[in-house]
Structure 1
Amino acid sequence: MKNTALAVLMILITAVVFAGGGNDSGGTSGGTVTIQVANWDTANMPYVPVLIQAFETANPGVKVEIVDIPSADYNQKLTVMLNGGSDVDAFWIKEADMAKSFNNRGQLMDLTANIRRDGINLNDFNGLAENFVFDEKTVALPARTDYYIMYYNKDIFDAAGVAYPSNNMTWPEWEQLAARVTSGSGNTKKYGGFLHTWQACVQNWAVQDGKHTIMETDYSFFKPYYEMAIRMQDAGTIWDFGTLKTAGIHYSSAFLQGNVAMMPMGTWFFSTIIDRINKGESKVRWGISVLPHPAGVEAGWTVGSTTPMAVNNASKKKDAAWEFVKFVTGPEGAKIYAAGGSLPARSNSQTLADIANAPGMPEGSLDALQVKHISLDRPVADLVADVNNMLGEEHSLIMLKQVSIDQGLQNMARRSKQIQNK
């Protein structure tokens, strides 16, 4: 699959070259400008050098040098670099919520005027761009994304004589469907659903409507989804939390071994499924559908994360840096991301079709990948990491039934207030 993706990427470079890309040199006429762009683990991202080559071809007055940093050190080193007045001109933000702290320190260029001048429609980012607007200033643009969809096992549905999941299903309907396809017992049991141990696999459905975030101090909106998870656990239609934790059962092994009929999980998982099948390590016959949605919310609303790009406010080459950010987050960059098997933040029918038609993807993938809005699982806000860690602790206590749902939600509210009022 990697060879195929790389071949497609090279074809796309040619297409961008002959199309001209529609970009100018960002005020760089009269000589070549070299910009430095920070990224992590570039060797594992074959689309990054392709993005650079395509950009440089469309912008002959600009050269791009990657400042490559190991993933584990990226956040810390990028922070040190920006604090120290580094020559880095633009950068990918590995953890979207860090954009807030960078902005608080005045390290992100205000892109608002550039966006308006170049006619960029922020609606093309499916609700992601609005997360990087502070004091009415847009300081970053989403480049790529991952979001939750529903994975399902065709063999389990076929054996039960039940139709595959639809692309317009509410969470209560999902719970009912899971009960219909649960069968067997012991080591041969087939579970109708699977909720991984991450708190996201309960709490995300509560922020899916875009009305709430994990940074609130009243978590009563989590309650219906905890009630659903506990009901399903008690009914045996999902693995119980304690068994998953004690036995160390990972979502990938549970699904790939054919023990699970339906599982909400991120778009990153389909490359793992294809790889395992190609290696002969799994025989699962799989499909995907749109993530179930809350009642009253339109199908196609989902939850995910994004990797944004920004320009260093201290850069002396802002024009050229902006042109690179605009290219990577624009239509040309989206095509290259898609050809490399990654979901661009700016998605349309063509970019999604590139992914849906990749070798190994199941029939019907294009419809399943359609989204209308992506709510961030972790909002771009101060102290979000501290609040998220706390919610994980309280989540475990609820799922293990060491506290009631109501008590757990009260504990979350109390602790969230303590963290945010420091």
Structure 2
Amino acid sequence: MIIMVRKMISMMVSLGLILTVLSACASNSGNNAEPSQSASNTPSESATPEGTNAGTGNPADLKADLTWFGLMGPEQFEERYNQYIKQKFPNINITYINQTDEQKLEQIIASGTQIDMFLSSAGELREDYVPANMALDLTPLLEKHDVDISTIEPAYLEPVKIDGNVNLLPITDNKFVMYYNKGIFDRFGVKYPWDGMTWDEALELSKQITRNEGGKQYIGLWMSPKHYLRVAQNSAGFIDPETNKATVYNDQWKFIFDNIFYNFTRDPGLQKRAGEEWLAHKDFNKEFLVGMYVYTSGWMQSADTSLAMDWDIAAVPTFKDMPEVNTQPYATYVGISALSKNQDAAMQVLKFLISEEYQTIISKKGMITPLTTQSVRDAAFADYPFASEKNIGALFYGKPAPSRVLTRFDELVIENALDQDAVRQIAMGKLDVNTALRNAEELANKLIQEQLAQN
């Protein structure tokens, strides 16, 4: 009897050991545990830390704490992103850090805070996140989590490739359109703008409107110069990345300045007004002095307060030698930090943000999708009463221009040398295009050298 009991105990112990081993194998298989990320800024097979579950197919089972960083305000982040992420992934907790003058990226990193995901533009990727060693080649994670990026318009991916590798994914775009005030066109009996109109044709419409009447200086067409410079349709760059020298005194930029900033500002009354008070948004949407205005689609999200009562849009005019070529992408991107220990969970969230499910939701709310999926595009501004009355199709006219070569000094050239100086000197009739661009290049190079010296 004693011998039989001993045998039974021995069998039970052996069975328990076998079950323990099987359980451990199953646990390792489910968590997909692998070595941590190397220093090459590419993700490991899994960067999932202890206590984080990123391996299940059910979004409700995914558990993680993710810290985001970006320029967007907290309320806007909650409205555009976090409320939908929480609905999809109820067990993911997101802490959002809003960049301010007192709370910059370098200070957050120095504090030891781990950033898992970040909002970025294509330019900020090179200006901020590459120097901070946070840029991550997403390719391995995209493959691991079976993320389909084929429905993303390729023009959005090119500007965020480094050495051929995609480092960010586009979530929304601020499309450029040409707003126009029907009341002004009706007042002067001028034909409304249309999709596919060339800049030469826009100039003819502008000439029919630009005049001084009853003490009011009407202006046919204007824009936010610095915004258009960033997305010019000929994809001209600002800096030679090999030498860090400005490249604006050349035929590419002369073409843009001749055809837009010079041609549209030859009226003496307009030049006088530009010298007395520089042209601004309010001249279109508050004072109602400008007939056509090139700007981003953001105004449409607050049309009741941002636009004249009788407004509509057309596609940005094209150059006759570049038919159907629209402006370059002006997108908001999301990246995953190379320093994050939660890369698997972060990629699941990013996969959701580029899904048709999420993109349809935000498309209805007036955020322009980077997807080519027609049903998502058709949903644009569907939550707005004006959607059926306005030319919403203008948002997707033609094809985006290829992105220019981006460098970390671009904004110095755009803001200080071109927008604040060259454009204004031309519009006020003080300088010709050649002189203005030559001066701009000299100023830009001086500013670049000063910044390099500080670093």
TM-score with structure 1 length normalisation?
Answer: 0.78
- 1:110 match: secondary structure: coil
Match of 2:337 in 1: 312
- 1:301 match: secondary structure: coil
CA distance in 1, matches of 2:212, 2:434: 33
User: Which one of the candidate residues 107, 117, 125 is aligned to 1:90?
Assistant: 117
User: Which one of the candidate residues 112, 127, 131 is aligned to 2:139?
Assistant: 112
- 1:72 match: secondary structure: coil
Match of 2:44 in 1: none
CA distance in 1, matches of 2:56, 2:405: 36
User: Is 1:72 matched up with 2:96?
Assistant: no
**Deviation (angstroms), 1:329:** 3.0
Larger Rg: 2
User: Which one of the candidate residues 40, 48, 54 is aligned to 2:87?
Assistant: 54
Amino acid at match of 1:86: T
CA distance in 2, matches of 1:31, 1:182: 59
Gaps of 5+ in 2: 1-52, 241-246
Amino acid at match of 2:437: L
Distance 1:84 1:176, change over 3 A: same
Match of 1:16 in 2: none
CA distance in 2, matches of 1:47, 1:195: 27
**Deviation (angstroms), 1:265:** 1.4
Distance 1:409 1:182, change over 3 A: closer
Distance 1:31 1:204, change over 3 A: closer
Pairing 1:285-296 to 2, within 5 Å after superposition = 285-296=310-321
- 1:387 match: secondary structure: helix
Pairing 1:10-159 to 2, within 5 Å after superposition = 26-27=54-55, 32-39=63-70, 40-45=72-77, 46-56=79-89, 62-69=91-98, 72-73=100-101, 77-82=104-109, 84-93=111-120, 95-100=121-126, 101-117=128-144, 118-121=146-149, 124-125=152-153, 127-159=155-187
- 2:319 match: secondary structure: coil
CA distance in 1, matches of 2:149, 2:351: 12
Amino acid at match of 1:391: L
Amino acid at match of 1:27: G
CA distance in 2, matches of 1:158, 1:131: 41
Q: Deviations over 1:250-290 (max 9, x none)?
A: 3234344432221211111223432357xxxx5x3111011
| Ranges of 4+ aligned residues in structure 1 off by more than 6 Å | none
CA distance in 2, matches of 1:352, 1:51: 19
CA distance in 1, matches of 2:329, 2:214: 34
CA distance in 2, matches of 1:227, 1:209: 13
Match of 2:391 in 1: 365
| Alpha-carbon contact 1:144-1:307 (below 8 Å) kept | yes
**Deviation (angstroms), 1:189:** 5.0
Match of 2:256 in 1: 225
User: Which one of the candidate residues 294, 301, 306 is aligned to 1:264?
Assistant: 294
TM-score with structure 2 length normalisation?
Answer: 0.73
User: Is 1:213 matched up with 2:237?
Assistant: yes
Gaps of 5+ in 1: 1-24
CA distance in 2, matches of 1:189, 1:419: 36
**Deviation (angstroms), 1:28:** 5.5
CA distance in 2, matches of 1:204, 1:342: 20
- 1:167 match: secondary structure: coil
User: Is 1:165 matched up with 2:193?
Assistant: yes
Distance 1:415 1:247, change over 3 A: closer
User: Taking CA–CA contacts closer than 8 Å with sequence separation of 6 or more, which of the two structures ends up with the larger relative contact order?
Assistant: 1
- 2:386 match: secondary structure: coil
**Deviation (angstroms), 1:137:** 1.7
